Amino acid sequence: MGPTPDIKKHFLLPGAICAPATEHLVTTILGSCVAVCLWDQAHHRGGMNHFLLPLWNGDGLPTPKYGNIAIDRLLEKLLQRGANHATLIAKVFGGASMWASSGGLLAVGERNVELVKAQLDELRIPIVSADLGGRVGRKVIFNTATGEVWMQRHQEHR
Partner 1 sequence: MTTLSDQELIRTLEERFEENHKALHDLRMTTSKLEEMNRKLQESEALKSHFLSNVRNEINNPLTAITGLAQQMICGNVSPAEVSGVATDIYFEAFNLDFQLQNVFAAAELEAGEATPFPARVDVIALVTSTFEMFGHQARIKQIDFRRHLDAAPKYFVTDPEKLRIILGNLLANAIEFSPAGASVDVRVTQGDNNLLLSVRNTGVHLDETARSLIFDRFRQLDMGSTKQHHGQGLGLSVCRSLAELLFGTITLTTDDTVPWCQFELSLAPFPTEVSDSAEDGNVFLFDNVEKF
Catalytic residue check, 33: yes
Amino acid letter, residue 21: A
For residue 70, which of 78, 153, 22 has the smallest C-alpha distance? Answer: 78
Minimum CB separation of residue 157 from partner 1 in Å reads 8
Binding to partner 1 by residue 73, rule CB under 8 A? yes
- Read off φ and ψ for residue 80, nearest 5 degrees: -60, -35
Minimum CB separation of residue 138 from partner 1 in Å reads 9
Instruction: Give, to the nearest 10 degrees, the angle between helix 67-80 and helix 108-122.
Output: 40
Binding to partner 1 by residue 154, rule CB under 8 A? yes
Binding to partner 1 by residue 58, rule CB under 8 A? yes
Q: Which of 7, 81, 131, 146 binds partner 1 (CB under 8 A)?
A: 131
Whichever of 17 and 113 has its CB closer to partner 1, that residue is 17
In 57-107, alpha helices (H): 67-80
Query: Residues in contact with partner 1, total (CB under 8 A)?
Result: 42
Per annotation, catalytic residue among 25, 33, 75, 83: 33
Binding to partner 1 by residue 13, rule CB under 8 A? yes
Whichever of 9 and 85 has its CB closer to partner 1, that residue is 9
Is 94 within 8 Å of 32 (Cβ atoms)? Answer: yes
Long-range residue pairs from 54-62, CB within 8 A, at least 24 positions apart, any chain: 54/108, 54/111, 54/112, 54/114, 54/115, 55/115
Is 123 within 8 Å of 8 (Cβ atoms)? Answer: no
Minimum CB separation of residue 124 from partner 1 in Å reads 21
Q: Which positions are catalytic?
A: 33
Q: Which residues bind partner 1 (CB under 8 A)?
A: 1-2, 9, 11, 13, 15-17, 27-29, 49, 57-65, 69-70, 73-74, 91, 103-106, 129, 131, 137, 139, 148-155
